[in-house]
Structures are given as C-alpha cells and as structure tokens.
C-alpha cells in the first residue's frame, strides 16, 4: 500500500509541475501573480486532469466490456450453430475390420483358392 501511495504522490507532483510549466509558458503566471492565484489555477487544473483521466478510463472500461460482450455473444452463436449441424455417423470398429471384397493373406497378397 505504501508503494501505491508513493506513486500517486509522484503522479501528483508531475501534474503540478506540468501545470506550473504550462501556466508560465502561456503567460498566465508572471512576476505579479500571487501564490493564491497560482495555487487556485493549479488546483483547478489538477481537478480537470484527474476528472478527464477518470472519464477516459471509464470510457475505456466500458468499450472493453462491450467488446468482450460482443465476442461472448459471437462465440455462443457459433456454438449454437455447431450443435445444430448434423454429425456424421461413426461406424463401429467391428464393421470396419474387413471391408474389402477379396480376402487377403497376412503378407498383404491375395489368397489363392
């Protein structure tokens, strides 16, 4: 659990650094900006990024569920079709022992009468 919290903290730090960089690059933050303004913008940006990530993850899971559901239905339909197709009858081994019309010897040649 500690490792998970550590990675979440790292992700949060990366998001904050990203938002600060974007703010300075776009000119939103300058030397006259107060700490309150910057922290407010960073907090709003962090919430937006987390919400967008949550929404995209939710959509990805939903799409994966739908794709899996479609594959399962396709598989079930294929199984139903296999059950409805007629099966060939198998002949018992006793009937298959001597199917030739001429008797043969043990060496594979014809038996002379």
Give me the number of domains the chain comprises. Answer: 1
In terms of Cα–Cα distance, which of 23, 52, 27, 53 is closest to 39?
Answer: 23
Sorted by sequence, the CB contacts under 8 Å of residue 15 that are 6+ apart come out as 45, 46, 49, 50
Question: Domain for residue 22, yes or no?
Answer: no
Interval 36-52: pLDDT, tens: 888 888 888 888 888 98
Question: Domain for residue 67, yes or no?
Answer: yes
Domain that holds residue 43: 34-72
Question: Domain for residue 107, yes or no?
Answer: no
pLDDT value, residue 59: 92
pTM: 0.48
CB atoms within 10 A of CB 22: 14
Question: Domain for residue 3, yes or no?
Answer: no
Question: Domain for residue 62, yes or no?
Answer: yes
Interval 61-107: pLDDT, tens: 999 889 898 888 888 888 877 766 555 666 655 555 555 555 555 56
Question: Domain for residue 78, yes or no?
Answer: no
Question: Domain for residue 77, yes or no?
Answer: no
Question: Domain for residue 47, yes or no?
Answer: yes
């Amino acid at each position: 659990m500690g490792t998970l919290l550590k990675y979440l903290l790292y992700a949060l730090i990366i998001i904050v650094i990203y938002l600060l960089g974007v703010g300075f690059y776009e000119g939103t933050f300058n030397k006259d900006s107060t700490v309150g303004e910057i922290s407010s913008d960073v907090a709003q940006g962090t919430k937006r990024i987390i919400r967008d990530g949550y929404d995209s993850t939710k959509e990805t899971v939903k799409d994966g569920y739908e794709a899996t559901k479609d594959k399962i239905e396709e598989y079930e339909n294929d199984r139903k079709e296999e059950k409805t197709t007629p099966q060939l009858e198998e002949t018992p081994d006793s009937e298959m022992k001597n199917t030739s019309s001429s008797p043969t010897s043990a060496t594979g040649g014809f038996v002379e009468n």
